[in-house]
Amino acid sequence: MAGKIWTYGISAVFAALLSLTPQEISDLVNKADLVEDDGNYEESNKILFEALKADPGNKMAYWMIARNYYNLGEEIPQSRQTEAKKLAYYEKCKEWSQKSIDKNPQVAEGYFYLGTGISSVVLVQGMVRNLNKFKEVENLWLKTLDMHPTYSTPTDNTQANADFALCQYYRKAPESSIMKLLFGTRGDLDKAVKYCGDAVKILPDRIDLVKEMGVVLTCRGGRRGSQQDIDAGRKWLAKTKTMEATTKIDRIDQEDAQRIMDNPKLACGYSRVQQEEVTEIKK
């Protein structure tokens, strides 16, 4: 009897989800977005999974789930002990991004988070062994911008995210002509500064963007012997300490900004995932 009651209860819940109106589904997705903004990524996913039960083709839910998995991976400090767990979250990010593309190929965020998931796996595994992935990632982020995404909140914006991602990409990728010849792409510090500047213009109060502006200027200044860039980079990095940290990732970024100020040589190979050994290769 108890088993039947349980079965009926589950059926009733499922039926209730299926009977949600479009407005109620939209409210669920908006609630998940707000919960994500507070850094509660697992709770956000629970709400999004409910939304998908009622609306399996929802245009927002798939990429938002991918975003949550990416953020869950970003929260975990990088170490040999945590590597497998971080990779699992990034693989989930890739999986749900691909689902977004398959279900709604016109939604730019699916392409953005697929590139983000792939690049995060590359950083954990090591860039040198994954140079063949660089062009794919670059194309996904450039495609995101070409699609003119419109998603925007006071703290999140897909266009700014793609600009930010491309900034990091052009900072970390080797600048050599050999890289371009073999893999069809290369690093470019001027492009990196340009894209980061575009991102900061859109979301000037986001700590990760301000930090990256400081990182890329510090990197370019060190590479080219420009004290002007180095000084400007330090100002941007110092600015992160004056900003309000609302999530665990914000606090990690503030700590990392201080780490770069303490040792500017880390700038070119810096990532939140792990420090890469990056050296300038002559063109």
21-52 confidence digits (pLDDT tens)? 999 999 999 999 999 999 999 999 999 999 99
- Say how far apart CA 125 and CA 128 lie, in whole Å: 9
Helix 207-224 × helix 189-202 angle, to 10° = 160
Closest by CA position to 214, among listed 270, 162, 252, 170: 270
What is the pLDDT averaged over residues 173-187? 90
pLDDT value at residue 128: 75
What spatial distance separates the first Cα and last Cα of the chain, rounded to whole Å? 76
Please check whether residue 138 is in contact with residue 169, taking contact to mean a CB–CB distance below 8 angstroms: yes
What is the pLDDT averaged over residues 120-127? 88
What is the distance of C-alpha 120 from the center of its chain? 8
Please check whether residue 149 is in contact with residue 112, taking contact to mean a CB–CB distance below 8 angstroms: yes
Q: Which CATH architecture has domain 29-151?
A: Alpha Horseshoe (1.25)
Q: CA of 116: how far to CAs of 78, 164, 177, 265, in Å?
A: 17, 11, 25, 25
Q: Indicate the domain borders of the chain.
A: 29-151, 174-271
- Say how far apart CA 90 and CA 229 lie, in whole Å: 33
What is the pLDDT averaged over residues 76-87? 89
Angle formed at CA 144 by CA 277 and CA 118, multiple of 5 degrees: 40
Res 75 pLDDT > 50: yes
Q: Which of 75-79, 81-85, 101-105, 167-171 has the lowest mean pLDDT?
A: 75-79
Q: Which of 55-64, 108-117, 236-245, 268-277 has the lowest mean pLDDT?
A: 268-277
**What pTM did the predictor assign?**
0.86
What is the distance of C-alpha 137 from the center of its chain? 12
pLDDT value at residue 14: 47
Quick one: pLDDT band at residue 221, thresholds 50, 70, 90? Answer: very high
Closest by CA position to 174, among listed 150, 192, 193: 192
pLDDT value at residue 11: 44
pLDDT value at residue 41: 97
Quick one: pLDDT band at residue 147, thresholds 50, 70, 90? Answer: very high
